[in-house]
Every structure is written in structure tokens, then in C-alpha cells.
A and B are shown apart, each in its own frame.
Chain A
Amino acid sequence: MSFITWQYLLFLPLVLIIYWHLPGRWRLWLLLAASYIFYGCWDVRFLALVMTTTAIDYICALSIEGKRMAAGRVLLLALLPAAWLSGCSLFLPAAGIHLVIITVAAALGLAFVAGHELIWRLGGENRSRSFLILSVVFCLSILGFFKYFGFFVDSARTMLEVLGLQTNRVLLNIILPVGISFYTFQSLGYVIDVYRGVSPACSSLLTFATFDAFFPQMVAGPIERGRHLIPQLEQPRAFAPEYLHDGVRLILVGFFKKVFVADNCAILANYVFDPKTPLNGYWAVLGALAFAFQIYGDFSGYTDIARGSAKLLGIDLVVNFRFPYFARNPSDFWGRWHISLSTWFRDYLYIPLGGNRGSKWETVRNLAITMLLAGLWHGASWIFVLWGAYHGVLLILYRVVPALRSLGDENASSRLRGVLAVTLMWILTLAGWAIFRSPNLHELGAWLAALGHWQTALALPWASSSLWLLIHVAPLIFLQLLTWKYRDETNLSRLAWPVRGVVYALMVLMIVSSTAQDTEFIYFQF
């Protein structure tokens, strides 16, 4: 179920009404059921993957803390996904679940139980570490198979063919489960935190399952930390009007960014990055600009709706964006863009690799590895790897080139230098988005080539389309100016209430002027 469907606009109030009328832990049962319904609306089969991640990480986290679960219970939990698939196969024949899939799910469950028992029996000082590895191996294997199997098989085949070797085509059409990267990383982060002793293991399966599948942020973040979300889920609370005020405001701004800004910019971006489109320099730049605002409106809009939905339940989610297009340097950009992912990579990859504590070249290596993997996280494609590498290079250049380092210095007081730094970073970000949006390397080459041809008879006149873009971007920029102080477009508290009222009314009008598009969120594919 997507946020921008009428189903969600009926689903959310229904959940809220029941939620605030239920006592204590019944609310968690409701949230879990709602989350599974929310996710199951895409594909009920993939709920088995969510259950697998939940079961593995729940058991491993407890085991890391030295709490051993009864073998029967472990077996039951490990076989739950297979049982779910069997149920789907029985009651939903249209889902097309073959016996092979159920068998594989059961075998995986049994393999996990065997691994779990083995680690407990072997004991030793490294038991906690072994459970962490067990969790990481299982979760990343699932992610790797569903997200990257096809990519690696294709890449290997291409490489072999380049070397003149014949290959057989592997026919395995794997559907990418929605949001798999998000909930896998959230769950993994929790297990690592438990291993580090930063966060206690959650003893309640109900709470942990709700944390893993919490519907407002499950499919596209923000990626929450266990220590932030789990206590909020467990804490009993009474309804407060602030939840309604903040929640509705966040959702309104989210809809504005998604429906008015992103979906309208998408019309131009999709045209420019269509392989059949003849481009000149104007259109290439226009397309990159349109995509920059599309992806920002789309993703930050999603985050705002997620935060708003959670707020209506009395739960705070982390802030994921802080005016990223005003960043002065790449490091600043990643501190403002998809903050929950950048901090995840920082805390669970970059710092464990050594961060910037070693020599300059070790720092460069760590940045490169982190950014390559961050790129690959976005999708199984060389384009995303290239995009990650591009940002890695930017981070390294700003670190090793003194002039860039000095220009991007966030503490510099010169206003002119600040404007220059933001402008340069904005141009570099645009180039990055062109890489990100290009369907393949060939099309990226075509986009770059278009920048050298500003007079192409084939390309369409671009002036009126630029006006279209401006019409849909200007209100967002105006909103950012209004909320500049807090670096959060949803925080309008600086404004007098009549002005806020006018802003809300205008947003509603802009949203309704752009409805009926039902465009999916970009980040669902990740």
C-alpha cells in the first residue's frame, strides 16, 4: 500500500481510531497487524522475508546477550516463514507459491536452528560474535539473493563473454521485495547495537516484530535505531492533541513535496532520461534539475508522510533531510541527505573500518569502500556503483585538495565563500543525479555528450518547460525560506498562525491541482 493512495488515506485513520481506543499491549498487536497488512498489500509472499529477518534477529540479539531460548521455540520461529508461505499457498492459490519455495524456506529455517544450536553448544568467548555473524550472514544472504543475484550473474556472464567464453543463460526471474534494503539494515543495525552493548536486546517478540515492520517507515525509511524506536513502542501513552497537529502538518507537507513537486518534475525528468529522447545541452540541464527536485520531493516527502503517520501514533521518527541542496561540501551533503542511511554507513561500516583515525590513505580507502557500498545499496546496477564512486571521489577530493577543503569549510564566515561553496556543491550534486537517473552507462554518455551540443534541431524548445519546472519548484524553495531557521520544511512555528493557515490552504490547493497520478515513490525500489 502506498502512502499516496486513497486506500492509505482510509487505512491510516482507521488504524488511528482503533489504536487510541485500545489499551496497553493491544496497541502493539494492532500495529503489527496493520504493518503486515500494509506490506502484504504489495505482495503477501514477501511477508515471509520480513518474518525471517524478524525471527533471526530476535533470536540472535537475545543469544548475544546470553539469553537462550528453548529449542522448540527457536524451531517454531524459524519455521514461521515456511508456515506462512504454506498458508498463502493453501488459501491464496493465485499467489503462485510452489512447493520448492516452501521447502527452501523450511530448509533455511532448519539451517538457522542448526547454526543457533551449534553456536550454543560450542560456547567459547566468541559466542556473541558468532551470533552476530550468524545474523549478518543470514540477513545479508537474503538481501543479496533477492537484490543482487541477477546483477552478479549478469555481470559475471558479461565478463566471461568478453573473455570469449560461452555461458548458459540462467533463467531466474527474481522479484525485488519492496523496501528489503530498509528493513534489513534497520534490523541489522539493531543486532549490531546489541552486540556492542549500545542497546539492550528486546525481550518481547511482539515489540521487536513491530519495530521491524513498523508500517510508516518500513518500506522507505527513515532507518530507525532500536534504541530510539523500541522504547517508544513499549512506552504507554495517552493521546495528546500535539500528535494530531504535528502529524497532520507533516503529512500535508509530505504530500505537497511528493504530489506537487516530485510528480510534476518527474514528467520532465522522465522525458529527458528516456533513451529515445534527442537531447541538447538545455534539455540535459533541465532534466538533471527536474530530477534533482523530483528525487528530493519524492524521498523527503515520503519521509515526512512517514514521520507524520508515526506522530499520529505518538511516535517520533528521526529526521532524514535537512536542506541537502544547501550543503557546502560532500560531507555536509551526506549529513543532510538521507541522514538515517548515511549515519548507518558511518556507524556500522566507516568507523569499524577505521574511519578517519588512520593515515590519510587509510581514510581515503575507508571512504571509497563505504561510498561504493552505499551506491550499491541503492540498487543492483553499475550505475549506482558509479554514483557511489562519484560521491566517494568528491568526499576524497574535498578532504585532500586544500582549496576545496577551504572552500567547503562549514565554519568559514565569508558569505561570498558560502555562496560559492553551495553553488559548486549544487552543481556537483546535479551531475551526481544525472549519473543516478541514467538508465545505463550508454545513456549517461549521451547525457554528457548533450552538454557539448547546445543547438540541436531535433530537441524540443525548452523555455516553456523550464517555466513548468519553475512553477513546481518555486513553492518548495519559498517553503524552505519560510522554514530556513529550523532546516525543516515542516516546522512552520516561526510564522504567525494566520500565515500558517494561508500556507496550509495553498498547499492543499497545490496538492489537489496535481492529483490522480498515483506515481510510486522512487525509493521503494531500494
Chain B
Amino acid sequence: MKRLFTPAFLFAVLLLSLGELGAHLFFAKDISGRFEYGYNPDAGFDVRTDGTVHLFRAGGRRFHRQTFPRQRPPGTFRVFVIGDSVPRGPSFKGAYPYLLGEELERHHIRAESVNMALPGYGARRCQVVLRKALEFEPSLIILHVNDSNKYEDEREYRRSLEFKSWHPRNWPMKVFIFRRLYEAKMEKVFWRLLPEQIRLKFAVNDPDAQLAANPDPKEVQARVRLAQETTAENVALAREHHVPLLIITQCRLMPGGPRSYHFETHGLDALDRSLAGDGVAWLSMKSVFSRLPDPRPYFADTGHMKEPGHLLMAKAIVHKILQDEQQLGLAALIRQAKNGGG
């Protein structure tokens, strides 16, 4: 009986196997949690043997690269900022988490401000990051709450479930290089080459379009409710770990109105005001920018800020921290940090 498989077939299998093996051997760190789309608790956090934590891009988490000691150095005020693309900022040094660190230093507070914000992350995935962040002894966590990423949270959750499932249609996607190639094509080539009208009309496996096309108001309401509940859970989680929390609520700068612009908060301000209390403070972006005669130069679009906007936010946050240090239970810690750990 002749060979069951041809040399060409075996060679093809070998090439594909080598590709898969190579990916696992050389890119194991990047692969880790890749197909959990931000729901893997450890993705992007590299806890090294030298006692440092390294933030890097992996597992659907596009962290700015940062390194900090696993244990908070004595006398250092450590702030973690968790949120979406708004706090992640136009650049690492142009975003308010970094500027916040500088601003705290300007107030002679030895500070360590870490930007843990990730684009497209809603309350649900922020909670996963929050749980991990709580392991690293933060003095304060700033939770930037936005309502525009609920769809993405939902979409990525569905994708993570889909990938975990052993349904036969997912079998090829269990191979890392297949999956990666598929995603690279659908997320990069597809999006870049085809005009949006075509993508939206004939979206192929486009969860955004699927979700957006679903006009069922009950489902939309349910998603908003889920976001509200998740934010409340995040507050409870921080309280449980005795870590002070500052909630920042996003606002959008929209055209129209008597001054040819107006702010929209989608009810977030009301929601997060209700969560403020012992150990939890709240700052509204709207309150920061509505004081300005014309806030438009501070915004890059309706939601994202330019660097001056981030600087303004950093100053407002420092002011808020110092103003509410009693409510947040940070007075002693800040005093220590001002004394340089003495």
C-alpha cells in the first residue's frame, strides 16, 4: 500500500505546525490571554522576579509600557488610573495620568501615577483590570467611567466565549496562527481597505455592526443597566480592599445649544454622584470644562481631550484629592508622601 499522505501534504502540515510551535515558543508572552479579549486577569501584567511589574501590550490590552515596583515604596503616593481611550490619552506623557504624577510632585507629594487605561474598555473589563491592580498596593484608584464602550465590552465578551467554546465551527480557530491571521485580516486589512459604508452594510463577522443593527430598546437598556451595576460593583470591590476610589465621569462636547456647544453626560453624573461616599469621591469632567469660556480647543473630538485638556484634568484631580483627602481617608498617606516617607 502506497503512503497514505503525500510528501507535499506532510510538508504543508509541518510548515503550519512549525508556525504554531514558533508562535508558542517565541511569542508565548504575547499569546497569553490573547483570545480572552481583555477578560484574562493577567494579560499585559508581567510580574517579574526582580520584584517589578511591567505593563506591556498583550492579550487585547494595549497598555502604555510602564514599570513599577510590585510593592509600593514607603512614603510614595501610588495612583492607578483605570479607564478607556480618554485617560489613555493621545500619548503616554500627554495623558492626564502621567501629568497627574507631575502635578502631585509639583505639590511636593512623592507620587507614582500608573496609566492602566485601555482603549475600548468599558466598566465590565475595567473591573477585570481593577481586580488585578488591587494586588499592587495602590494608594488611590481613579476610575474613569464612560458609557461609550459597553458595546465593545459586550462584543469582546462574546468573542471570548466563542473562542472558549468547543463547538466544531471553532476548531480551526484553536490554532493560534489561524486565529491571529483571521483577526489581523478582519481587524486591519478589512477595516483599512473597505469604506465604512461597505463594512457596515455587508459587515462580515462584525460584532459592532451586529450590535448596532439590533434596535431592541430593551436590550440596549439592559446593557446600560449592566454598566451601572458593574460600576457599583467596582466601588464595592475597592471598598472591600480598603482602597480609596475617585470616580471621574466622562462628558461629551456636542455641537448645538445657545453657546453653539453643550455637554452631554448620558446620566453618568447622576449615577456616579450616587456612588460617592465614604472612601469614594467623584469628579465630573463636565464640571471641570464647563468653567472655561470656550472648552472646544481642549477637545480633539467629542470625547477625547488634547494635551491641554489632560493637563486641566490633572490639575482638577489633584485639587479634588487634596480637597477630599479626609473623605477618601488619604490625609495621613499624603502627609507621609509629602515628607518623603519620613
Contacts and interface: CB of A to CB of B under 8 A. Distances in A.
A512 interface: yes
Contact of A245 (B6, B16, B198, B205): B6
A513 B4 CA distance: 28
Given A244-B4, A513-B185, A497 B11 contact: yes
A241 B7 contact: no
B9 A245 contact: yes
B48 interface: no
Contacts of A198: none
A465 B12 contact: no
Given A244-B4, A498-B11, A501-B11, A517 B205 contact: yes
A512 B193 contact: no
A505 interface: yes
Contact of B202 (A270, A460, A501): A270
Contacts of B7: 497, 501
B19 to A, nearest CB: 8
Contacts of B14: 501
A501 B10 contact: yes
A492 B192 CA distance: 34
A516 B203 CA distance: 12
Contact of B182 (A274, A468, A513): A513
B217 interface: no
Interface in B2-28: 2-12, 14-16
Contact of B168 (A6, A504, A508): A6
A416 interface: no
A240 B3 CA distance: 10
Contact of B9 (A6, A248, A515): A248
A461 interface: yes
Given A267-B202, A497-B6, A515-B172, A471 B189 contact: yes
Contacts of B167: 6
B8 A509 contact: no
B195 A465 contact: yes
A103 interface: no
Interface in A462-490: 464-465, 467-468, 471
B169 interface: yes
A465 B9 contact: no
A7 B7 CA distance: 29
Contact of B198 (A460, A467, A514): A460
Contacts, number: 107
Interface residues of A, number: 39
A42 interface: no
A268 interface: yes
Contacts of B15: 501-502, 505
Nearest to B204: A517
A330 B283 CA distance: 74
B197 A241 contact: no
B201 interface: yes
A302 to B, nearest CB: 20
A271 interface: yes
Contacts of A514: 182, 185
Interface string B139-171: 000000000000000000000000000011101
Interface in B189-220: 189, 192-195, 197-198, 201-202, 204-205
Most chain B CB inside 10 Å of its own CB: which residue of A7, A461, A467, A515:
A515
Contact of B1 (A241, A271, A501): A241
Contacts of B261: none
Nearest to A517: B204
A497 to B, nearest CB: 4
A120 B134 CA distance: 91
A427 interface: no
B181 interface: yes
Chain A CB within 10 Å, residue with most, of B5, B15, B168: B15
B208 to A, nearest CB: 15
A465 B194 contact: yes
A268 B190 CA distance: 12
A460 B182 contact: no
A220 B8 CA distance: 30
Nearest to A248: B9
B181 A509 contact: yes
B176 to A, nearest CB: 11
A267 B3 contact: no
Contacts of A515: 172-173, 182
Interface in B320-335: none
Contacts of A7: 168
- Residue picked from A241, A263, A517, most chain B C-beta under 10 Å: A241
Given A10-B168, A501-B8, A509 B178 contact: yes
A6 B182 CA distance: 17
A9 B175 CA distance: 17
Contacts of B168: 6-7, 9-10
**Most chain A CB atoms below 10 A, which of B4, B6, B175, B201:** B6
Nearest to A276: B201
B181 A6 contact: no
Contacts of A512: 172-173, 175, 178, 181-182
Nearest to B199: A267
A468 B9 contact: no
A479 to B, nearest CB: 15
Contact of A241 (B2, B169, B177, B189): B2
Contacts of B5: 244-245
A500 interface: yes
A202 B54 CA distance: 75
A267 B204 contact: yes
Contact of B12 (A471, A508, A513): A508
Nearest to B195: A460
A513 B202 CA distance: 17
A245 to B, nearest CB: 5
A517 B202 CA distance: 11
Nearest to B177: A509
Contacts of A492: 8
B193 A467 contact: yes
Contacts of B172: 512, 515
Most central of A270, A465, A514 by chain B CB within 10 Å: A514
B9 A504 contact: yes
Given A248-B9, A505-B15, A267 B198 contact: yes
Contacts of B9: 245, 248, 501, 504
Nearest to B11: A501
A498 B195 contact: no
A465 B204 CA distance: 15
Given A471-B189, A501-B11, 16 more contacts: A6-B168, A10-B168, A268-B198, A270-B202, A461-B195, A464-B194, A464-B195, A465-B193, A465-B195, A468-B194, A497-B7, A498-B11, A505-B11, A513-B184, A514-B185, A516-B204
Interface of A: 6-7, 9-10, 240-242, 244-245, 248, 263, 267-268, 270-271, 274, 460-461, 464-465, 467-468, 471, 492, 497-498, 500-502, 504-505, 508-509, 512-517
Give the top 4 A-B pairs by smallest Cβ distance, nearest first. Answer: A501-B11, A500-B8, A504-B12, A512-B178
15 contacts: A244-B4, A271-B198, A271-B202, A274-B201, A460-B195, A460-B197, A464-B192, A465-B195, A500-B6, A501-B11, A504-B9, A505-B11, A509-B177, A509-B178, A516-B205
